A and B are shown apart, each in its own frame.
Chain A
Amino acid sequence: MPALRGFLWLIGFLLLGEVLITLTGLPVSAGVVGMLSLTAWLVLHSGGFDDIAAAARPLIAALALLIMPGVVGIFFMLDELAGQLVAILTALLLGTLLSVFTTLWLLRRLVGDDDAGTREAINE
């Protein structure tokens, strides 16, 4: 039953997130607040998360399945989007090229680019 116990923990953190965003009025989703609360809780307790891992791993593995009902919707709204497709695709493709360039350029300036970094990280 560790997976179910862990599931209860995850739902508990999700509901905690719901309570926090309702009380504070923050425009953030309950899932993100719950995720940060879980990370904070794990940092504070450092370890002892076997139950949570038993529920978290299969759920993370099933993420692609869980988002499928949303992905399918795109095929049923192509007609609606016909006039906007050029704008949408340009924004996505050109926007991604520009943001990848910005990210890599910034990272190289701030983190530094050396193969030593790769070796160090591997040796950790």
Chain B
Amino acid sequence: MPANIAFLPVDNGDMVLLTLENGKRVLIDCNIRDVSGDDPPPDVIKQLKDRLLKDDKGRYYVDAFLLSHPDQDHCRGFKSHFYTGAASDFPADSKKIFIKELWSSPLIFRRKTRHHVLCEDAQAFNAEARRRVRRYRESGTAWVEGDRVLILGEDESPEKQQDLGAIVVKTDTRFNAISGQYQSGFSAYLLAPQPKGSDEDEERRSKNNSSVILQISVGAGWNAQACRFLCGGDAEVDIWEDLWQRHRRAPDCLQYDVLLAPHHCSWHCLSHDSISDLGDKAQVAPDAKSALSQILDYGRIVASSKEILDDDDDPPSNRAKQEYDAIAKGQRGRFYETSAYNGEPFELEITEAGPSPKKVSQGSKSSTSTSKAGAIGAVPLAHG
């Protein structure tokens, strides 16, 4: 089975399923909206389950679940659709998805709660992460799938995590295990969250949607780096500027074949300026743009958002789309919108030769609307 990255159609939100060649599945965020009502959104939980396997107990499962940061549009539906609690207590009749290993960043939660109250789903995730850490402390290494947790980034004081060394991934290090098993076709470089800094730094990061940022290398066949996938939740301009400052001399860790445009293609990931105040005079922040421009030849940038229109909305921002489009075209790459796939996931299939879309979109909306505007091509077909 080829490796695959599926971007589920969640409008402004993230929900990305990474499937490795060996079948391991990592889910990054979720935004599962209510599908009742007259005009329901796509049924992403069904689309997700269609792409998951069941274990020997008949449970749908993911090998790992990463929450990039605890905003509602990144964890909506977590409480309803994912099992939380001791692995051994999973109810026989539950239809919830079983998470073998949780990837959590307490630092991100701490920064989020400086100015906001966590939503119910984020609280559920946080409680589950804490339960798993407690379970680790109690049982040492003798824990099982469903209780496993990985802590991304060091927390405020190293002594607090002294006994958690085996499950902490430090920023600017690479890990290549999923649910405790080494993966030949997977490695991930943790770019953020940065460890706790001064009060000023913490305030700045908090206001810039501090998120887990990973550069994930996906292997296919002989090619261990068939696809480098950069994803960074809603991280905004300051955070990307910091990253560029830290890695400008060796930007390999920022290179990508596929970028999930941060914060659903928000202008504020690329600029400090306000478009509503400055209009066309708003400038991109060069360092942030540099950090997000490390696209490889024929690379791809994906906006997980609602349809990007030529208006003042943000996110998604049309101006940001133009910037990403230019970044992509500079390396003969392409820019994609998840909204162009008629409610179906946008999937990139990864082989030794790199990633490419499983299907192409139906073409631009403008071309379709032009064709429909006139009489040509609008005549219903009768069967005589």
State yes or no: do A and B come from one complex: no
